Amino acid sequence: MISLDLIIRAILAGTPLLIASLGEIYTERSGVLNLGLEGIFVLGAAVSFVTTVDSGNVILGLIFAGIAGGILGLIHGIVSVSFRGRQVVSGLALTIVGYGIASLIGAKYVGKPLPTYIYIGDKWIILLISELAIAFLLWYLLFKIKLGAIIRSVGEDPISAYGLGVDVVKTRILTTLFGGFLGGLAGGWYVLGYIHIWTEGTGMGRGWIALAIVIVSAWNPLLAPIFSLIFGGVEAAIWRFQLPPYNFNPYLLGATPYLTTLLILVIFMATPLKKYFRPPKALGIPFYREERTI
């Protein structure tokens, strides 16, 4: 049942999840929760499709998807960091906006074929290795050099970080921008590198799963590939089980990624494993430099 084919599909399905969650790990490590990731992913998917259909160039498609995601990330940064808006609300609003823009710009493109896409084929091993390398690099930057110390400091204790001379607002906005860029890129990859088609609603729900991966990976880039692969595997398995000889009901199967996410969250939070999941202390808390400290 677990064939090589299934594993490859798991890697392919897991790739966009990994890209999105790696970016969000950086965002959350700096203390910003970006629930807009969902909308960013969906928008990235639409933008990459539209761009590639028009230009015939996948690289352009990916770049524009990343830029669109980056813009939404920047908006989230400005609203929640500069204006101290509630991060959950701002993120949700952004998701809604992302959905809306995606359906607006994609409306005229529904049903059009992609002139070109990213074909992985038997190069999946290269894909896997580069994913692991990127995850390692992001881990290294986060934990072994000053840049990482800066990011983590504003996510743990922004007031002290500010007192030490860190520009909290700038750092948070930049990580949110970075997370948005990767989120958009992930949506683009999802269309160009995985499913190769687009209709209204393509990519919906993936952003939420990426957010869950961030939690169960304990905000650690090194763990994200493992969980991305697991969720990718669930998706691959759904596809497999719809086909003969299994012929499972597609709707019930469609609930499994979400059920899996819920179960994994519960398993990690309700067991001694919980000890490893200490979120950044200031996650979700706005920063005001003149906040009273006693």
Ligand X SMILES: Nc1ncnc2c1ncn2[C@@H]1O[C@H](COP(=O)(O)OP(=O)(O)OP(=O)(O)O)[C@@H](O)[C@H]1O
Residues that bind ligand X in the complex, under the rule CB under 6 A: 290, 292
Q: How many residues touch another protein (CB under 8 A)?
A: 74
Residue whose Cβ sits closest to ligand X: 292
197's contact among ligand X, another protein, none, with CB below 5 to 8 A by partner kind, is none
Name residues contacting another protein, limited to 262-281 (CB under 8 A): 262, 265-266, 269-270, 274-275, 281
Q: Which residue has the tokens 């074929």?
A: 113
153's contact among another protein, ligand X, none, with CB below 5 to 8 A by partner kind, is another protein
Angle at 128 between CA 122 and CA 131, to 5 degrees: 140
Other beta carbons within 10 angstroms of residue 273's beta carbon come to 12
Residue 223: closest CA among 8, 18, 13: 18
Q: How far is the CB of 292 from ligand X (least distance, A)?
A: 4
Nearer to ligand X, 167 or 291 (CB): 291
Residue 222: closest CA among 126, 164, 148: 148
Give the binding range for another protein (CB under 8 A) out of 17-25, 188-196, 223-231, 254-262. Answer: 254-262
Nearer to ligand X, 84 or 123 (CB): 84
CA atoms within 13 Å, Cβ hemisphere of 50: 20
Q: How far is the CB of 122 from another protein (least distance, A)?
A: 33
Distance between CA 41 and CA 210 in Å, rounded? Answer: 10
The answer to whether 65 and 187 have CB atoms below 8 angstroms apart is yes
Q: How far is the CB of 152 from ligand X (least distance, A)?
A: 24
Q: How far is the CB of 34 from another protein (least distance, A)?
A: 12
Other beta carbons within 10 angstroms of residue 29's beta carbon come to 25
